[in-house]
Structure 1
Amino acid sequence: MTTRALILTSSILGENGQSIALARYFQDRAAEREGLEVSHRDLVADDLPHLTQPELASWQVPPEKRSAEQREMAARSDDLIRELLDHDVVVLAVPLYNLGVPSQLKAWFDRVMRSGQTFQYTEKGPQGLIEGKRAVILAARGGQYAGTPMDSQTPHLKGMLGLIGISEVDVVYAEGLAKGEAHREAALKEAKQAIDSLVPRL
């Protein structure tokens, strides 16, 4: 049985980004595991625009009644949701920018968190509609925030994933990367060891 993983990268530093390095390491380890296929979407290269009211409104129009412009706008969300559904695991390689997620990643979430498609409102609150999938967060940070009140990123990511029904989330941290070469190398080594342990279990 084949497991399909979708890696999403969002570092504006490109090949110099440490989150990119973690994603690349994950992909290399995945290539060694039989039955695990990996796809990659670079959200910086894709350059999704910020969500606007006209695009949001296009989702509410029945497909057969959409104008050409509405079809083009709605296709962004439709295609990203279809891609997500086609994979078993979503791997988020995420740098920490100003205690939050990159705006490029937020633009992706804004299009896959779609009422009536990936979650719905009920009398008991929102309910995720995506079932049987899991997520991996590869978090690269210059400082050390995990487990502290300053780490607003981890609960934000888990909350957005949970809203659409993905509650099984593994987090790999590489922290303190700006604290000197020795600290950076030790942190990356620990993160890579965590990836080594995680990949066979996907």
Structure 2
Amino acid sequence: MASILHVDPSPRGDRSKSRQLAKKFIDAWQDLHRDDVITYRDLRQTPVPHVTEDWIAASFTAPEALTPEMTELLKFSDELVNEFLAADRCVFSVPMYNFSIPSNFKAYIDQVVRVGRTFTEEDGQVKGLANGKKVLFITSRGVEFEAGSPYEGWDSQEPALRYAFQYIGVSDIQFIHANGLDMGGGAKTGARRSTI
């Protein structure tokens, strides 16, 4: 039995392509792995606040030195981090906005990439603490990014996601890209077989 965290950041509801694709994936997964436990978080329903100067100060304060106000500032972040660390596998459905990720998912990453929680610094070196976890990104993109396309090299989405999660120790990262969704004629998918 595995624990799977499924996060939908798209601000669009049922019209969201990334949500639709992730739901199909999760439904198919559950058919094959009935004992797995799915934890679902909808960032449209529970928006993630952007970090502030006070939040940053609190996140870099030793736990024993936190004031009640600092503890309160980190409360939601702690909830997100605990949820993330408790999962064996994560499925993130991420639409592409302006060649990168939606701001609410960047806010999610900023709340989860936490010193002392998901990474540490030792002798000037960063050490990720989320080792052994599998992460799958299911993305929806309006155009093609393959070699020879007009947008070749414009993809800032996959690198940003890959580097952020590698930084905290995740080495098993996979992508299923649904490309060309705004080009007509149906989606051209660069889907790869996944083994989350």
TM-score (norm 2): 0.88
Q: CA contact under 8 A between 1:30 and 1:37: conserved in structure 2?
A: no
1:44-83 equivalences in 2 (<5 Å): 44-63=44-63, 66-83=66-83
Q: CA contact under 8 A between 1:158 and 1:167: conserved in structure 2?
A: no
Report how far residue 47 of structure 1 moved.
Answer: 1.0
1:175 corresponds to which residue? 179
Structure with more of its chain in helix, by fraction: 1
The one-letter code of the counterpart of 2:70 is: Q
**1:122-171 CA distance string (max 9 Å, x none):** 34632211111010010100111256311111011000000000011111
Distance in 2, Cα, partners of 1:46 & 1:92: 15
Equivalent of 1:151 in 128, 148, 155: 155
For 1:183, what is the secondary structure of its paired residue?
Answer: coil
Distance in 2, Cα, partners of 1:7 & 1:47: 15
Distance in 2, Cα, partners of 1:101 & 1:79: 22
Q: CA contact under 8 A between 1:30 and 1:38: conserved in structure 2?
A: no
The one-letter code of the counterpart of 1:168 is: D
Distance in 2, Cα, partners of 1:59 & 1:38: 28
Distance in 1, Cα, partners of 2:49 & 2:144: 31
Distance in 2, Cα, partners of 1:115 & 1:16: 36
Question: RMSD over aligned Cα, in angstroms?
Answer: 1.9
The one-letter code of the counterpart of 1:151 is: D
Unaligned runs of 5+ in 1: none
2:25 corresponds to which residue? 26
Give % identity.
31
Q: How many pairs were matched up?
A: 191
2:99 corresponds to which residue? 99
More divergent stretch after superposition (108-117 vs 65-74): 65-74
